[in-house]
Amino acid sequence: MKKIAILHGPNLDRLGKREPDVYGHATLKDLEQLIRREARRLGYGVTFFQSAHEGALIDRIHALTDRGIDAFIVNFGAYSHTSIALRDALSASGKPAIEVHISNIKKREKFRHHSMTAGACRAMISGRGFPGYVEALERIGQYL
């Protein structure tokens, strides 16, 4: 069974409370339940990690890579727009990754329009809400 790591960055743990007009009322736990259900349907195992700390996310990428993870689906939140270090960690993993954003970053503030980390990913899905993660799960198989 292929194993997919789902990594979430800062403020994703605030889903359901943070800006519900942008992100909706569902929680990170709700999102993880959706992902687990869809991963089972597709025959994948999934593991989850969320942190507001850039270094913790980098350490997790390295650890998962060393343990043989097959692919990553990432939403690094605001770090997507600023972190060369996360981009480098994903690139160094040698594993396929898809970046997901719940909101459409092109329709947000100008500083959010560019993702630094997307360059280390095979695709970016933006603005599709939680279903964007399902799409990422469905698409990741073409890279495995």
User: Which amino acids are annotated catalytic?
Assistant: 23, 101
Buried-state track 92-120, b at ≥16 Cβ within 10 A, e below 16:
ebebbbbbbbbbebeeeeeebeebbbbeb
**Cβ proximity of 80 and 101 under 8 Å:** yes
42: which 2 tokens? 């597709």
Q: Are strands 71-75 and 97-101 parallel, antiparallel or unpaired?
A: parallel
Q: Are strands 71-75 and 2-8 parallel, antiparallel or unpaired?
A: parallel
How many whole angstroms from its chain centre is CA 66? 19
